[in-house]
Amino acid sequence: MGERKMVEKAIKGDEEAFLELLHCYQEALYRTAISYLKNEGDALEAVQEVTYRAYRNIKTVKEPAYFKTWLIRIMMNYCQDALKKSKREVPKDRITSMQSVSEDFTFLEVEEALGSLSDYERELLHLKYFEDVKIKDIAVMWNTPEGTIKTRLHKALRALRTSFEEKGEMKRV
C-alpha cells in the first residue's frame, strides 16, 4: 500500500495503518529525540509520548504527504518542552558514542551552538539538515512565503556561526 493511502486510512481511524506508519517512522523519531535529549531512556519515553499525541491528534493532519514531518514536529515540540523542564534537573548519562565520531569535529560544539538558538530556528535547521525537508515544503507547511523561510534559515545559520566564533575566541584566550 502506498504511504499516502496508509496515512489517509490512519486519519480515518484505521488503527493498523496508524501503527504500521509509526513503526515505519520510529527510527526517525528516535533520532530526533536523541539529537535533543541525548539519552536512551528519555528518547524512548519521547517516542512513546509522541505516538500517544499523534494518535490523539491524527485528525489534524491536513496533507498526508507531510505526515512524517508532522510527526517529527510533534517530537521537536515535545523535546523543546522536555529540555526546558530538564533545566531544573540533574544532568543524565548521555550516550557517549556520539562524542567520539570524528576527531576534527566536536559534537559538543554543534550541540551547544544549537542550544543557543531559538526553538523556531532550531526546528528549521533540524527539518532542513536533519530531515532533508525542502524549503519549498517547509514554506507550504508553515504557510509562510519561501523567501521568508530562506531569510530565517540564513538568520539561524548566522547565529550558529556567531556561536562557533565566540567559542573559538574563548579557546584562543
Partner 1 sequence: MFEEEEKKLEQWKKSIDQVEMPMEKLNDAVRNGFEKAKNERTLKKRIIKKRSVWSLVIAAILLISFVTSISVSPTFAKTVAAIPGMDRVVALIKQDKGLNAAVENDFYQPLNLSQEKNGITVTLDGVIADRKGIIVFYSVHSEEVDLSSLYLKYYELWSGMQPQYRVKINRTIMPLTPKKGMDFFSMYEQIDRVRLKEDLSWKVGVQYGDKIENFKIPFTYKPMDVESKDIFVNKEVTIEGQRITVKMLIVDPVRTTVILEENHKNSKKLLSSRAFDELKLVDEKGRTWSAMTGNSYKSSPEGHVWEIPLQESFYFHDPEKLTLSFGKITAMDKEEAYILIDTESEKIIKEPSESIFSNLQVKDGKASFSINSENGIYNFFKFVDADGKEFAIHYKEYGPAAYPSYYVEGRNIKISENETKFEFEIPTAPFTNPIRLDINQYPSWIEEEVEVEIK
Q: What string of DSSP letters covers 40-107?
A: HHHHHHHHHHHHHHHHHHGGG---GGGHHHHHHHHHHHHHHHHHHHHTTSPP----GGGGGS-TTS-H
Collapsed DSSP state (helix, strand, coil) of residue 135: helix
Q: Which of 110, 112, 115, 166 binds partner 1 (CB under 8 A)?
A: 110
Q: Which positions from 130 through 169 interact with partner 1, judged by CB under 8 A? A: 130, 141-144, 154, 157-158, 160-161, 164
Task: Report the residue number, 8 or 28, with the smaller CB distance to partner 1.
Answer: 28
Does residue 172 interact with partner 1 by CB under 8 A? no
Neighbours of 132 (CB within 10 A): 7
How far is the C-alpha of 142 from the C-alpha of 137, rounded, in Å?
9
Binding residues (CB under 8 A) for partner 1: these are 15, 18-19, 22-23, 26-27, 30-31, 34-35, 40-42, 44-45, 47-57, 60, 73, 77, 81, 84-85, 88-90, 92, 95, 97-98, 101-102, 105, 107, 109-111, 119-120, 123, 125, 129-130, 141-144, 154, 157-158, 160-161, 164
